[in-house]
Amino acid sequence: MLGSIVVLLAPSLLPGWALASVLDGSGDRVRKALLSPALGLLLLYGVSGVLLLLNMWSLWSIIIAYVILNIVAWRLVHVRHEEVAQRSHWQRLEAAMHGEVSETITTTISEEARVQLEFQQTRHLPLMAVSIAVALIALLSPFLQKYPFGVDWIGFAVLSQQIATDGNLMLSGTNEGFWTYPPAFPSLASLLVLTTGIDAGQAVFHLGHYTLFALLIGLMGAFDRHGSGAYAVLSMGLGLGLFAKTFDSGYPSMASQLGLIVGVLVLLRPSHERQRHHTIGLCMALVCIAMIHPTGAIYLALFMLSHIIHGFKLKDEEQQELVRRFAYVVSAFITIGFAIALIVIAPRLFEEAVFSEYGWQGGRPLLVYNGVLLLLGGFAAVGLRATLEARVITTWFACLWLLSCVHLVEGLQNIPLLSLLSYTLYSMALHAFHVPLALLVALWWSPNSRLTPFVEDMQVRWPSMPEPVSLVVLSGVLLGALVAPAIALSLAQHEELMSVAPGDDALRDRLGELKGMIYTENMHWGYVWNAPEGVETTSIPTLGLVYLTEGEQSNATRAIYANNISYFQSMEMNHALTSPLGTIQWELAVSPYWQRLIEVDGAALWVLMPDGDGDVSVLHGLDSEDCPACVARLDPWREHRFRDPMALGDERVFLAEGTEAQVKVSSTNPASKLCLTYEVIGQVEGLYVQSSNGLERPFHALRQDAGYHQGCFDLDAEGTIEHLNISWKADEPTRWVNPLGLSGRDDVLIDRTGVKFHWIEWQGVDA
């Protein structure tokens, strides 16, 4: 992780410093130090995305581009004109901040400099240090675990590996076609792959969490301009939205929020303080975040629209003219964006209906992930309604909320633009409302905020949060900040939450011994992002819009179910890769035409047996009747499995740590080996299985680390086994917070360590 931070920070710090100087000439070193990582990272994203879009991406091209970017930034920061009249507006503002007096420094500049100097002198530095410590928690997870939770990261990793290998978004493996996906995030992750040597999955993980950290301290720097920098991060801690999105590996939509930092610097200032370079900075931000994810561009565009709406309400003719010019620029960008969406992307969604996986995002999901912020933001909106900044943010939030209504027409077909919008905003409760509400609360929370009256002499009703309320809210945020690392440490011991089993990861390291086509399951655990050169896999993630002209996934899957061996021989597809999370293994295990070549904890590499002389297994799913001491629990991956030959259903039997049980395993078929597929929930102290008869060795210790495993036991040819007795070293389970209980994929929030039993397999069955 440290290497990834260095690779990202080194080329971005100087460009970020330069952009911070241009957008806010009144910023001192503290503010620029907070803004530089975020603004520089935004520029890195933009440059990397543009190079890939122009089909010019390579390690050397991106290094050259970053060197040029740093040279331009250096000249921008260090070159000063000897004649004061030739200085730009932001350079004159810098001079005023240092006490310089000249004819070019207008009254407006002097007043802005005076206000900003007061903010800098009254900073609450201890509270800012606490806020930075809170932001650092975002970097903790990559230090504790190898891969993230969620499923989206696998698709990003596949794209990143493809870019690192070939410099494009053409489909990988046996597939022909291309991905249509915003290029910035996977291409920047590819840079980490090529420079640090980590695999694409880790690169995506590191980049996502570093981006969240940069976003948090960047918002602190942006709101320091309003005297409420520390409170911006603390306010972000009152919501779960972006943190939940990051935990679930939805990194690009979270990363696209970086552009909102530019929006805060430019749009929450009086129109007479905004210059042409501010508008140019906004346009650059729009381009950069469009390269990351369209959601950020939509949110920033609505922010700009809100600024324009309230700008036209001002009675000052000069300010209205400035707003009018700005509106022309905004209209041009929105028109271009709509044109690209309508002409290039939307036609490919003509057959798709409006999508609503998580329901209406402006309803219950909003309350779940940002309920506390919504409550405090409501008080802030009422209390600060006499100020221009609060009105702009409140209108911005209202526009976003109205945008969520697209999900109310779920299922509507043949309107490509609505379908595209719904696919873009499908989880917007996590990433649309968090920042606007947090910024509104921060303005109200800070006792030093100095806001612009919407109408002259208009009185602000509640200028700041009451001190008792402030102490309670601050205590809650700090308590959450203390609990968050403990939860992160706990979750790092729960690999069963991951969409790739431990055996899958270990087995993929062995793929370098093979060449040619390998069948892989078309599901999260089947997508191989780190396939070695010469190995072609059949499955690809359907990330973004996939244009597939040719592929073997469907043909190969049908051939497996039909035992069509001639197909595999003609394609020279002699191997298959399966995960214990998947279903294809069940078909291969009972087929005489496939044999396990390598097996690691339930993950298997299979080899084709054309003569049909492979070992045949008998499978039996375990349920509550087989384990009376167990309880039925929802399977988190139930919606991702489409075949159920053992009638396992949507539930699995769960046995809490410390609870002894007897599992029925009797079989009528003679066999040489009995294998138990189980899933350890958390890390347990000791898990044992024994049987008084039927096993060659009566006592076995099972794997104790979290995740899917398979324990195999040699059978005694002279005995008959009917039960497996399960025992533990510990007497009681450990409690832990299961985030899947909050998302609905599981039915328990305060969970217990233990084991889930999935199925048993009788290997070496007599034909």
pLDDT at 186: 93
Strands 754-763 and 618-621: antiparallel
What pLDDT score was predicted for residue 433? 92
How much is the pLDDT for 98? 54
Please state the rounded mean pLDDT for residues 693-720. Answer: 83
Distance CA 36, CA 20 (A): 6
Interacting residues of 136 by C-beta distance below 8 A, sequence separation 6+? 213
Q: How confident is the model at residue 347 (pLDDT cuts 50, 70, 90)?
A: low
Cβ 600 vs Cβ 503: under 8 Å = yes
Number of H helices, E strands in the chain: 28, 19
For residue 445, the SS3 value is helix
Query: Mind giving me the DSSP string for 72-92?
Result: HHHHHHH---SSGGGS-HHHH
Highest mean pLDDT among 195-209, 354-368, 538-552: 195-209
CA dist., res. 358 & res. 611, Å (int): 48
Res 112: pLDDT? 63
Residues 225-234: what's their mean pLDDT? 87
Report how far residue 517's alpha carbon sits from residue 175's, in angstroms, rounded to the nearest whole number.
Answer: 11
Q: Which amino acid is at 597?
A: L
pLDDT at 102 over 80: no
In this predicted structure, the answer to whether residue 90 has a pLDDT above a threshold of 60 is no
pLDDT at 719: 67
- Provide the CB-side half-sphere exposure for 441 (13 A, CA): 29
Taking alpha carbons only, the member of 56, 1, 31 closest to residue 121 is 31
Determine the 3-state secondary structure of 726 from DSSP: strand
Instruction: Round to whole Å and give the CA distance between 172 and 54.
Output: 20
Least confident of 1-10, 419-428, 721-730: 419-428
Residue whose token pair is 């240092």: 98
> What is the rounded distance in angstroms from the CA atom of residue 447 to the CA atom of residue 217?
20
Give the 3-state secondary structure of 519-579. EECCCHHHCCCCCCCCEEECCCCCCCEEEEEECCHHHHHHHHHHCCHHHHHHHCCCEEEEC
The region of weakest confidence among 193-207, 208-222, 445-459 is: 445-459
If you write DSSP's letter for every residue of 169-237 in order, what string do you get? -BPPTT-EEEEE--SHHHHHHHHHHHHH---HHHHHHHHHHHHHHHHHHHHHHHHHTTT-HHHHHHHHT
- Helix orientation angle between 200-224 and 184-196, rounded to the nearest 10 degrees: 120
Query: What is the C-alpha separation between 737 and 753, in angstroms, rounded?
Result: 11
Q: Please tell me the distance from the alpha carbon of residue 192 to that of residue 210, in angstroms, as a whole number.
A: 12
β-pairing, 707-714 with 651-656? unpaired
Judged against a pLDDT cut of 60, whether residue 450 lies above it is answered with yes
Find out whether 326 and 312 touch, Cβ atoms under 8 Å.
Answer: no
174: exposed, middle or buried (Cβ count in 10 Å: 0-12, 13-18, 19+): buried
Asked whether the beta carbons of 626 and 653 are under 8 A apart, the reply is yes
Residue pair 310/388 in contact by the 8 Å Cβ criterion: yes
Residue among 2, 128, 132, 125 nearest 481 (CA):
132
Q: Report in angstroms the alpha-carbon separations of 641 from 432, 525, 617, 646, 742.
A: 31, 11, 21, 12, 21
Instruction: Please give the mean pLDDT across all residues of the chain.
Output: 83
The Cα 282–Cα 260 span in angstroms is: 9
pLDDT band at 361 (very low <50, low <70, confident <90, very high): confident
Between β-strands 535-537 and 516-520, what pairing exists: parallel, antiparallel or unpaired? parallel
Q: What is the pLDDT of residue 101?
A: 52
Q: Which has the closest alpha carbon to 14: 30, 26, 32?
A: 32
Half-sphere exposure of 85 (CA within 13 A, CB side): 1
Query: Is CATH 1.10.3470 correct for 619-763?
Result: no
Q: Is 763 strand, coil or helix?
A: strand
Cα gap 303→623, rounded to integer Å: 53
In this predicted structure, the answer to whether residue 22 has a pLDDT above a threshold of 70 is yes
pLDDT value at 335 more than 80? no
φ, ψ at 724 (rounded to 5°): -115, 125
**The pLDDT of residue 319:** 59
Residues of the chain with CATH 2.60.120: 619-763
Q: Please give the pLDDT value at position 435.
A: 93
Whether the CB-CB separation of 434 and 242 falls below 8 Å is answered with yes
More confident residue, 514 or 14: 14
Residue 209: per-residue pLDDT:
95
Q: 8-22, 182-196, 539-553: which range is least confident on average? A: 539-553
Are 642 and 617 in contact by the 8 Å Cβ rule? The answer is no
Q: What string of DSSP letters covers 318-371?
A: HHHHHHHHHHHHHHHHHHHHHHHIIIIIGGGGTTPPP--TT--TTSHHHHHHHH
What pLDDT sits at residue 625? 86
Cross-strand partners of 472 = none
Determine the straight-line distance between the first and last CA of the chain, rounded to whole angstroms.
Answer: 52
Nearest 10 degrees: Cα torsion 529, 532, 537, 543: 20
pLDDT in tens, 599-654: 888 888 999 888 888 788 888 888 888 888 889 888 888 877 778 788 888 888 99
Amino acid sitting at position 30: V
pTM greater than 0.85: yes
| Least confident range of 585-594, 611-620, 703-712 | 611-620
- Alpha carbon of 476 to those of 182, 313, 479: distances in Å? 37, 38, 5
Q: Tell me how far apart the alpha carbons of residues 159 and 150 are, in angstroms, rounded to a whole number.
A: 17
